[in-house]
A = this chain, B = another copy of it.
Amino acid sequence: MSAVLPPPATAGMSQAEIDTPALLLDLDAFEANLETLDQTLQGRRVKVRPHAKSHKCARIALAQMARGAVGVCCQKVSEAEALVDGGVTNVMVSNEVVGESKLRRLARLARRAQVLVLADHPDNVRALEAAAVAEGSTLEVLVEVDVGASRCGVAPGEPAAELASLIAAQTRLRFGGIHAYQGGAQHLRTPAERETAITRAVALVRETVAAMRKRGLQPATITGAGTGTYPLEAGSGLYNEIQPGSYVFMDADYGRNLESDGRPVHTFRQSLFILATVMSRPTPTRAVVDVGLKAHSVDSGMPLVADVEGAKYLRASDEHGVIELPPGTDVPLGTKIRLIPGHCDPTVNLYDWLVCLRAGHVEDIWPISARGAFY
């Protein structure tokens, strides 16, 4: 059985002493990001429920709740279990849960934490009710509405209202509101594109609220939004909860989002890095590092090289990353360099530990509580 690997560092170590590959958290940048989110929401009356699928770390979830988050989101039942085991008391599985064993576990979890979940199909509503009855618990269920992401969710308006009625008619389910996440809008590059997408989403939510009210149903929570668009939902006057996740870390792909002046979005700082070791220097312009496909997810492109001016991570194989160096760059064998992940969420999922640094030294090591928790 694959044991959890030992941490790559101990408290007090310098960055150069950390074993690699390692996932680093710059605590100053991380704490600044928590603060910045609050600042960008000043004057808004929205609750914050950060998405824990980005960090999968109970320590971070608790830090977010200590700053006023009402709870966290996650995507899987096993992820929710790991977070509740880590002390989180309020968790929304912002996803459909299908299959009897998962549903029973979800309903069981609702006996020791506040548990919310989505539905987009009547059969699933009835299965949620059966599980809650069997476990003697209550589940709060939100209707997932497709507001443009073309993934899960019922159609806005009447179909969503009909499903809400079915939820409200169950004995062990509580109708919680509307989940309207426009995932496709998060990485649209220009502010105009993002605004167009969210304006459309808001209109569809408004139509849905009206259809529900006609049936005498009031959606208490209207939730959605991610790091790329949350100021728009927060300013809509309709959404009353937002779910940004990546803002705590940032990544290369979010770094490609632009402000209206054409510069990269600069709201949040990069706090997450991968530490790599140079394990081969075959030519003057090539360095090979020990971070490849099994230590970094390339779904949103290659990582960026943070510490070497002009260096470019060209390609990844399973356990190698090939970096092109400007001629004359002094990067000897054994050098440790930091990479900025292309996409933080699936990269974090490859690590057991988050090595927390301040002023170049290890201050703490946090377990990634829900690493690999995909059931």
Contact = CB atoms under 8 A, between A and B. Distances in A.
Interface of A: 1-5, 8, 19-21, 53, 56, 75-76, 78, 82, 95-99, 101-102, 120-121, 123-124, 146, 150-154, 183, 277-282, 286, 288, 290, 293-295, 297-299, 316-320, 322, 332-334, 343, 345-346, 349-350, 352, 367-375
A274 to B, nearest CB: 11
A8 B375 contact: yes
A297 B293 contact: yes
Contacts of A332: 123
B5 A375 contact: yes
Contacts of A299: 293, 298-299, 316
A319 B374 contact: yes
A282 B2 contact: no
Nearest to A279: B98
A56 B319 CA distance: 13
A3 to B, nearest CB: 7
Contacts of A56: 2
Contacts of A322: 150-151
A282 B1 CA distance: 38
Main secondary structure on chain A at its contact with chain B? loop
Nearest to A79: B319
A351 to B, nearest CB: 8
Contacts of A1: 4, 352, 367, 369
Nearest to A351: B372
A318 B293 contact: no
A4 B5 contact: no
> By CB atoms of chain B within 10 A, which of A124, A295, A299 has the most?
A299
A231 B249 CA distance: 47
Contacts of A277: 98-99
A75 B319 contact: yes
A151 B287 CA distance: 9
A298 B299 CA distance: 6
Contacts of A102: 19
> Which of A278, A332, A372 has the most chain B CB atoms inside 10 A of its CB?
A372
Given A99-B277, A371-B2, A282 B120 contact: yes
Contacts of A370: 2
